[in-house]
Amino acid sequence: MDDKGLTLAVPQIPALQKTAELIKNDWNAVGIAPVNIVTAPPNDFADTVVRGRNYELLLFGNTLENPDDLFPFWHSAERLAPGLNLSLYQNAEVDRLLEMNRQTGDAEKRAKNLERIAAQISEDHPAAFLFSLPYLYIHRDTLEGLKLPMIVTPADRFQNIAEWNVARVRVLQ
């Protein structure tokens, strides 16, 4: 860090801007200063900051379309635009495991590889994982057949909607 401090790039999304301010305050409290926050509207941010890899520190959210396929986010081939490896992470072993997972249909092998990938990424610290926003299901007690799948996108909450039904008791009169 030089006299200019650190620059944290954040899209103009209220939750992320608030998070950036909290990070800045926490870093300032432990002597990391100055921390400069730069923002841009989301579309401009994606074009000027993310695609061009024009950031020192980046606060950004990603949605995993397929939670079992981490290739777009962690394989070294995805470091440059339009890839999604925004931390510019490189690790030959992780690359190998990601490639293996794309080639195997063995769910058990994929799960073991994902564990190894997660452990290596955790050891290397290419990113700080801050939070994952929860999805909240509000429904009546009479709703049956509701299963709570892993939600990756908002549409996923309706994965098994065809199985939903309202419990009713028929009474003969």
Answer yes or no: do 157 and 108 share one domain: no
Same-domain status, 81 and 36: no
The amino acid that residue 8 corresponds to is: L
Looking at the structure, tell me whether residues 81 and 114 fall in a common domain: yes
Last residue within a domain, chosen from 24, 44, 61: 61
Whether residues 70 and 129 fall in one domain: yes
The answer on 74 and 51 residing in a single domain is no
Question: Looking at this protein, which amino acid is placed at residue 135?
Answer: Y
CA-to-CA separations, 29 to 22, 35, 69, 127, in angstroms, rounded:
11, 11, 38, 21
- Residue 25 domain boundaries: 1-61
Q: Is 152 found in the same domain as 122? A: no
- Overall number of domains in the chain: 3
pLDDT tens digits, 110-162: 999 999 999 999 999 999 999 877 777 788 888 888 887 777 677 778 888 99
Tell me the whole-structure pTM to 2 decimals.
0.74
**CA proximity to 137, closest of 105, 106, 114, 160:** 160
28 near 58, Cβ under 8 Å? no
DSSP state of 54: -
